[in-house]
Amino acid sequence: MINELFQGEVAMKIAVVDDEKRVAEYLCNLLQNSKISSTYQMFVDIAKLFDAIEDGEMFDLVLMDIEWNKKENGIDFSEQLIQLCPKALIIYVTGYNDRFSQHIFLKPSNLCGYLVKPVDPELLEVLLHKANEMVSKLEAEKLVVQQKGVIHAIPYSDICYLESRGHQLIVHTYKDSILCYEQIEELKKRLPQQFFQCHKSYLVNLALTRRITRSSILLKTGEEIPISKARYSDTRTAYFRYMNQII
């Protein structure tokens, strides 16, 4: 389903994830009647969401139910989700506010909001507007490169890292890798400060950093990017500077 698109907005791809079908259908109905444009898919089985992402689906926003079973919950699932779809924003939805309100910040996720069931349509609308502004901003910021005569405008938020191989440069995104004939030093000038050269052959998106060691950066995607000994200290400094800017 897709709503009317308003000027300045992007049509967000939303996953509605709840093991209660009636609740998921209710949320989908709210999305259908929202003023914020979106396409959406409903998942009552968390495994099917992960399967869809592994098959190539990418979501801008996930409405994630927290209460699932005694062993796992939506907070655990969101931690797994950012490994597969690191740019997805999360709005938690729960009927147990007292049980989970203090836990939502304990595990990594791109938290965008928190809603209590039954979901208030007006509060959901406010959070959808907030999410759309965030996604629209990210979509507007793009790196333009040329591959075999074809122009690619790649959103910064889609880029995991850039790799230099001789006279070629590979832009690694979530979905694919784009080969172009650019110098890494020249491309670095066209990218924002969230991209840092941690190695003579690599520019990494600091926004996707999960952990930094003396020899590598582990990304939220699970990929490991080498850090040269000479750039280790500067890489850590750049990362903490970036984190201070976004907090």
Please give the pLDDT value at position 125.
96
pLDDT at 17 over 50: yes
pLDDT at 196 over 90: yes
Give per-residue burial for 167-188: e unless 16+ CB within 10 Å, then b.
Answer: eebebbbbeeebebebebeebe
For 176-199, what is the mean pLDDT?
A: 90
Confidence of residue 1 (pLDDT cuts 50, 70, 90): very low
Q: What percent of the chain is helix, strand and coil (3-state, nearest 5)? A: 35, 35, 30
Tell me whether domains 12-140 and 142-246 share a fold.
Answer: no
pLDDT at 229 over 90: yes
Name residue 148's amino acid: K
Burial class (CB within 10 angstroms; exposed 0-12, middle 13-18, buried 19+) of 50: middle
User: Distance between CA 19 and CA 162 in Å, rounded?
Assistant: 39
CATH architecture of 142-246: Beta Barrel (2.40)
**Hey, what are 122's tokens?**
């007006």
Q: Beta partners for 217?
A: 212, 225
89 sits in which H/E element: strand 89-94
User: Distance between CA 161 and CA 208 in Å, rounded?
Assistant: 9
pLDDT at 96 over 80: no
CA distances to 51, 196, 207, 215, 243 from 193, rounded to whole Å, are 33, 7, 10, 21, 11
Residue ranges of alpha helices (H) inside the chain are: 21-32, 46-54, 74-84, 97-100, 121-140, 184-189, 232-246
Please give the pLDDT value at position 101.
63
Q: Which CATH superfamily is domain 12-140 in?
A: Response regulator (3.40.50.2300)
DSSP string, 212-231: E-SSEEEETTS-EEE--GGG
User: Whole-model pTM?
Assistant: 0.64
**Domain-wise residue ranges, the chain:** 12-140, 142-246
**Hey, what are 197's tokens?**
């050269």
For 148-173, what is the mean pLDDT?
A: 89
Confidence of residue 118 (pLDDT cuts 50, 70, 90): very high
Per the CB < 8 A criterion, the answer to whether 15 and 49 are in contact is: yes
User: Distance between CA 99 and CA 54 in Å, rounded?
Assistant: 31
Name residue 41's amino acid: Q
Please give the pLDDT value at position 6.
42
- Bond prior to 121 in cis (omega within 30° of 0): no
